[in-house]
A and B are shown apart, each in its own frame.
Chain A
Amino acid sequence: EPEVTQTPSHQVTQMGQEVILRCVPISNHLYFYWYRQILGQKVEFLVSFYNNEISEKSEIFDDQFSVERPDGSNFTLKIRSTKLEDSAMYFCASSDSGKGHRDEAFFGQGTRLTVV
């Protein structure tokens, strides 16, 4: 069964450093997403990406964040100058193979980011 894969599973970084979280979405999906979940809180939408550009973003997704699809398979989230409050689980997701249930999103196993 195709799945979304994320690396690394856990990233520890010092405050102020830049991190890049990596994802390989399901290969025939058209939409890609990043969500985050702070420990004990609900899952929150960050950004969606379609046709090589951002299609939606939330208020959380400020200038500190950027996304990129550097090649045909990877989808990355970059966080510049990390803050303590960026510590969370970051989930990549993908959806819409162009047929069937377009809105059903499938999530990767997540990257736990710890900022110290």
Chain B
Amino acid sequence: RKEVEQDPGPFNVPEGATVAFNCTYSNSASQSFFWYRQDCRKEPKLLMSVYSSGNEDGRFTAQLNRASQYISLLIRDSKLSDSATYLCVVNIETGRRALTFGSGTRLQVQP
């Protein structure tokens, strides 16, 4: 089983749509969870950390389900500028700082 697994997409959605991405991770002891976005040939940029209680930042909502080892990202009212690859990122082992990246889910928002 891959350490961090994501649906590769692509997700093609119209402007204004709501879209959800899912991610699973293999190590139940994982401590920190993040969503990054990556534009083509650019660096990963931190979108948001994911907390056990769930958290929201504007149009973006992240959820963590530790029992199912599952992380989600919901984007409401999609904008053209949201088109990017969304990376699920996990600090897989307690005490380590190395981040483990999923392969990413490609989102294309269409006018």
Task: Kindly report which residue of chain B lies nearest to residue A108, judged by CB atoms.
Answer: B43
At the interface, is chain B mostly helix, strand, loop or mixed?
loop
Provide the residues of chain B in CB contact with A89, threshold 8 Å.
41
Question: What 1/0 mask marks residues of chain B from 92 to 111 whose CB sits below 8 Å from any chain A CB?
Answer: 00001111111110000000
Task: Kindly report which residue of chain A lies nearest to residue B32, judged by CB atoms.
Answer: A103
Tell me the count of chain A residues lying within 8 A, CB to CB, of chain B: 27
Residue from the list A43, A58, A103, A109 in contact with B101, Cβ < 8 A: A43
Task: Kindly report which residue of chain A lies nearest to residue B101, judged by CB atoms.
Answer: A43
At the interface, is chain A mostly helix, strand, loop or mixed?
strand
Provide the residues of chain B in CB contact with A75, threshold 8 Å.
none
* Interchain residue pairs with CB less than 8 A apart (25): A33-B98, A33-B99, A42-B103, A43-B87, A44-B101, A45-B98, A45-B99, A56-B96, A56-B97, A56-B98, A58-B98, A91-B44, A101-B49, A103-B32, A103-B49, A105-B46, A105-B99, A106-B46, A107-B43, A108-B43, A109-B42, A109-B43, A110-B42, A110-B43, A112-B41
Instruction: State the A residues within 8 Å of B (CB).
Output: 31, 33, 35, 41-45, 48, 50, 55-56, 58, 89, 91, 95-96, 101, 103-110, 112
